[in-house]
Structure 1
Amino acid sequence: MQKNINCGRKMFTKCISCCGFTIIYVFFACLLIENCVALQRTLRHYELFHKDDVLHRVVKRGIKHSKNPFNTIKEVEFTTLGKNFRLILHPHREVLHSKFRAYAVDADGNETVVHMDHDSFYTGRVFGELESSVRAHIEDGTMTMSIHLPDETYHIEPSWRHLPASKKDTMVAYKSSDVKLHKNEQGGTPKTCGYIKEGLELEGKDKDDDALDNEIHSREKRQSDQYEYTPTKTRCPLLLVADYRFFQEMGGGNTKTTINYLISLIDRVHKIYNDTVWQDRSDQEGFKGMGFVIKKIVVHSEPTRLRGGEAHYNMIREKWDVRNLLENISRMDTRCI
């Protein structure tokens, strides 16, 4: 199912043409669900199942190794949340840059290359469901997965990430519709993230400013009617950085697990962008196929060792002020690789 967003080519193509190399710093506080109580506060319902309850079958394997994604096709079947899932999957590397590299960084900032199995990431569909899609990472039988159906989206993740006391090799499954949305102070559900508007100069524009804005808008509208826009750059390369707390809690203290989880997260975001139709107005055809590729991943396996008085985004610290955190991240050496 396509999503139509009337937000225009400026939003995404500005990123594509200007970012060159975008940095995403994945910090622990945004994603951690600490225990069962927190999970129950977040979800109305979830279920656990063991990796032994999942049936894996290879239905096609090429005689020779090939980069063709359909050279190997596997079938995965399991039952959870009152539904039997039969998935047809094949490996894919769509979200990885051709020069993708991953590194582990120690306390002194020394980088060590981490070699990854790119064939553990899959895409596919649900058997018998025409309007379906699946994004998955499977490692030693444990799955991180999103299953999209017309009326619902199902998520599967290793249970240790959310339930530290859960049994080994189990997974937690939940539906998007079961995620509880937190209420704001007025008792309503916020539709957007909060923000702070700085500077009184943004308040109360005078009539001359309004007239100028209307004139510019009319001019842009006339210009946009004169041509159809076709984007030439459709992928924005990303640098992902995981700090030590993210490595410990979301990656389980394992560098490859942390990297695989980050790739799975961006894979889901990429699909949302890639399936979105971008258009200035509803009467325009718009365009789609915009997305991301991961060029580099950096995982801090240890807190950064500092001298007295220094600050670093990977230092041992319970809480960060958002402004200070962003300022420290901005000091990173982000030269393109």
Structure 2
Amino acid sequence: MFTKCISCFGLAIISVFFACLFVENCAALQKTLRHYEIFHKDDVVHRVVKRGAKHSTNPFNIIKEVEFTTLGKNFRLILHPHRDVLHSKFRAYAVDADGNETVVHMDHDSFYSGRVFGELESSVRAHIEDGTMTMSIHLPEETYHIEPSWRHLPEAKKDTMVAYKASDVKVHKNEAGATPKTCGYIKEGLELEDKEHDDTLDNELHAREKRQSDQYEYTPTKTRCPLLLVADYRFFQEMGGGNTKTTINYLISLIDRVHKIYNDTVWQDRSDQEGFKGMGFVIKKIVVHSEPTRLRGGEAHYNMIREKWDVRNLLENTSKMVTLCT
């Protein structure tokens, strides 16, 4: 998944164009994963353990148990609804070819968090719709992922899911035979780098000395970054199955996983500092392009029909979304 984050009136924009795990058939899936298993939603047992007498926004007002077996392991999950990644003013929209937005109403109670029964150091993030699950299960020794089969296997039977371990994802090497550590980037102004190199070293030494002499603790006052998620038509078709609500739910599930990683991370300048944690994201708005954008002569748009994009041109066209920064 390629993303771009733009600061605009305090709102971060993440534009989603491709999926992290983009495959088209069984052969391609085997190239991406060392092992995976498929199971049907009828193989999953759902039980409501607790239901409050009255409707409540308390996340523990409803507790459900989900149990299934896959990848040689029996999973018994204790889940409750959660809206951690949704802003209080969250809105979702479908956009047509002419840029007209239509509000999409969502069922927020289909997202869950919880734990694995009997596992103290475990966590679960899940979206369950009509018995089909998109889920991440974190255990100390492994992380398990579950997704609808149609997203990766177009010929898969209806209502089936793919399960795989994070350790079974194959890491592809680059042309030099090395494993890429980061995404590529473009660095401009190389001709100025040598001139500024000495000044940079002096500034870094001064800053390091100042940090060592000034012992302080930083307590962040704002711990959530509001996001605007934008799915183009290709993402809508291939990862959302041509369904607006499915696309929106998938985007929320992706950010939910990222939010947990950030929220659990301890941020610190040095190992001898306590640091701080609890930083994360909230989704304020989601825009899904249900049609390719209709263009005038000579125009370029990130949502136009195009087989391949140059990364720089794609990011530049995305950054022109001034009307979305409201």
* TM-score grouping bracket, smaller chain normalisation: over 0.9
> Residue 153 of structure 2 corresponds to which residue in structure 1?
163
**Once the two structures are aligned, what percentage of the paired residues are identical?**
84
The answer to whether the 8 Å contact 2:9/2:325 transfers is no
Which of residues 201, 213, 238 is equivalent to 2:192? 201
Q: Which has the higher contact order (CA 8 A, sep 6+)?
A: 1
> Residue 272 of structure 1 corresponds to which residue in structure 2?
261
Deviations 1:87-128 (A, max 9, x none): 000000000000000000001111000000000000000000
CA distance in 2, matches of 1:171, 1:51: 7
> Residue 174 of structure 1 corresponds to which residue in structure 2?
164
Gaps of 5+ in 2: none
Are 1:304 and 2:324 counterparts? Answer: no
CA distance in 2, matches of 1:206, 1:113: 51
Which of residues 90, 97, 102 is equivalent to 1:112? 102
Question: Do the aligned partners of residues 143 and 206 (structure 1) sit closer, same or farther apart at CA in structure 2, a change above 3 Å counting?
Answer: closer
CA distance in 2, matches of 1:208, 1:44: 49
CA distance in 2, matches of 1:45, 1:327: 38
> Residue 7 of structure 1 corresponds to which residue in structure 2?
none
SS class of match (1:67): coil
Are 1:282 and 2:271 counterparts? Answer: yes
Question: Do the aligned partners of residues 206 and 129 (structure 1) sit closer, same or farther apart at CA in structure 2, a change above 3 Å counting?
Answer: closer
Are 1:136 and 2:121 counterparts? Answer: no
Matches within 5 A, 1:144-155: 144-155=134-145
The answer to whether the 8 Å contact 2:19/2:239 transfers is no
How many angstroms does 1:233 deviate by?
Answer: 0.1
The answer to whether the 8 Å contact 2:14/2:227 transfers is yes
Which of residues 110, 119, 123 is equivalent to 2:113? 123
> Residue 237 of structure 2 corresponds to which residue in structure 1?
248
Question: Do the aligned partners of residues 206 and 277 (structure 1) sit closer, same or farther apart at CA in structure 2, a change above 3 Å counting?
Answer: closer
SS class of match (1:131): coil
> Residue 74 of structure 1 corresponds to which residue in structure 2?
64
Q: TM-score, normalised by structure 2?
A: 0.94
CA distance in 2, matches of 1:220, 1:88: 45
Question: Do the aligned partners of residues 320 and 28 (structure 1) sit closer, same or farther apart at CA in structure 2, a change above 3 Å counting?
Answer: same
CA distance in 2, matches of 1:296, 1:206: 41
The alignment of Structure 1 onto Structure 2 pairs a total of residues equal to 321
How many angstroms does 1:39 deviate by?
Answer: 1.0
How many angstroms does 1:336 deviate by?
Answer: 5.0
> Residue 315 of structure 1 corresponds to which residue in structure 2?
304
The answer to whether the 8 Å contact 1:90/1:123 transfers is yes
Are 1:218 and 2:213 counterparts? Answer: no
How many angstroms does 1:180 deviate by?
Answer: 0.6
> Residue 178 of structure 2 corresponds to which residue in structure 1?
188
Which of residues 88, 92, 105 is equivalent to 1:98? 88
How many angstroms does 1:206 deviate by?
Answer: 5.3
CA distance in 2, matches of 1:77, 1:257: 23
The answer to whether the 8 Å contact 2:45/2:67 transfers is yes
SS class of match (1:183): coil
Question: Do the aligned partners of residues 229 and 276 (structure 1) sit closer, same or farther apart at CA in structure 2, a change above 3 Å counting?
Answer: same
How many angstroms does 1:37 deviate by?
Answer: 1.6
CA distance in 2, matches of 1:309, 1:336: 24
